[in-house]
């Protein structure tokens, strides 16, 4: 397989908070078992009720985060809704070398950075709701956001949606099971994108 540039692939999933993207990504990832790896980000955001350190995020102080930035620990990092979030590089490279599909639940800035870093192996999906009202309803039901934070997330949702054209797929998440099927199919197909191959090398190998 020396004609394949990297064994694994990266699947970026972005979308507004409340679109259901995290649940979708995590569930598909667990269904794909050893074939997939879910990247756990580091954040300075306060932990929500029910969240666990090392499971949902690595929760750190701003000082710790900035130290990691300085030490080049992150593949990408960004400020989202007033907090810092970052994707660690080492674990991702390890998973890619093992041929896994790496799931990244990151925002539009993260998507742009990861695409630049790994242009040949990134596939991306933007997940959103049918309309604004469904999103507000979901965020309220989740009950994790203050009125102010909800407002910030809604404004950011509109900004993020303007960047949908940068994504390979747009998934309007109305039915969880159906959405899961879409994400799973895209994830598996991402392993055989033509851009992952060095075609000249492949032809050379093929004709031997």
Q: Which stretch binds ligand 5GP (CB under 6 A): 99-107, 126-134, 164-172, 190-198?
A: 99-107
Any idea what DSSP says for residue 33?
Answer: G
If one asks whether residue 68 binds ligand 5GP (CB under 6 A), the answer comes out as: no
Strand order in the sheet with 83-88: 58-59, 42-43, 83-88, 74-80
Q: Which single residue brings its beta carbon nearest to ligand 5GP?
A: 110
Print burial letters for 115-132: b (CB count within 10 Å at least 16), e (below 16).
beebebbbbbbbbbbeee
If one asks whether residue 44 binds ligand 5GP (CB under 6 A), the answer comes out as: no
- Identified binder of ligand 5GP from the candidate list 96, 107, 115, 191, rule CB under 6 A: 107
Residue with token string 């596939």: 123
- Identified binder of ligand 5GP from the candidate list 10, 24, 25, 41, rule CB under 6 A: 41
CB of 39 closer than 8 Å to CB of 91: yes
If one asks whether residue 7 binds ligand 5GP (CB under 6 A), the answer comes out as: no
Q: From the CB of 125, what's the least distance to ligand 5GP, in Å?
A: 12
If one asks whether residue 85 binds ligand 5GP (CB under 6 A), the answer comes out as: yes
Q: From the CB of 148, what's the least distance to ligand 5GP, in Å?
A: 14
If one asks whether residue 105 binds ligand 5GP (CB under 6 A), the answer comes out as: yes
State the binding string over 16-35 for ligand 5GP (x if CB under 6 A, else -).
-x------------------
Distance CA 171, CA 28 (A): 14
Any idea what DSSP says for residue 100?
Answer: P
Q: Which helix (H) or strand (E) holds 38?
A: strand 36-38
Between 36 and 80, name the residue whose CB sits nearer to ligand 5GP: 80
Q: Which stretch binds ligand 5GP (CB under 6 A): 62-70, 106-114, 125-133, 168-176?
A: 106-114
Strand order in the sheet with 36-38: 36-38, 101-105, 9-14, 122-128, 169-172
């Amino acid at each position: 397989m020396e004609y394949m540039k990297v064994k694994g692939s990266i699947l970026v999933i972005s979308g507004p908070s409340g679109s259901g993207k995290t649940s979708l990504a995590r569930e598909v990832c667990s269904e794909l078992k050893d074939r997939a790896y879910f990247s756990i980000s580091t954040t300075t955001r306060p932990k929500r009720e029910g969240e666990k350190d090392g499971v949902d995020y690595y929760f750190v102080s701003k000082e710790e985060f900035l130290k990691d930035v300085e030490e080049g620990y992150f593949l990408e990092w960004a400020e989202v809704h007033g907090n810092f979030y970052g994707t660690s590089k080492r674990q991702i490279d390890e998973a890619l070398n093992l041929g896994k599909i790496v799931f990244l639940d990151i925002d539009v800035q993260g998507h742009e950075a990861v695409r630049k870093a790994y242009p040949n192996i990134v596939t991306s999906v933007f997940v959103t709701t049918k309309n604004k009202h469904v999103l507000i309803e979901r965020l309220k039901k989740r009950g994790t956001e203050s009125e102010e934070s909800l407002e910030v997330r809604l404004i950011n949702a509109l900004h993020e949606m303007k960047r949908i054209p940068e994504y390979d797929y747009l998934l309007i998440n109305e039915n969880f099971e159906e959405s899961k099927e879409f994400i799973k199919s895209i994830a598996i197909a991402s392993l055989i994108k033509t851009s992952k191959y060095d075609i000249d090398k492949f032809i050379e190998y093929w004709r031997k």
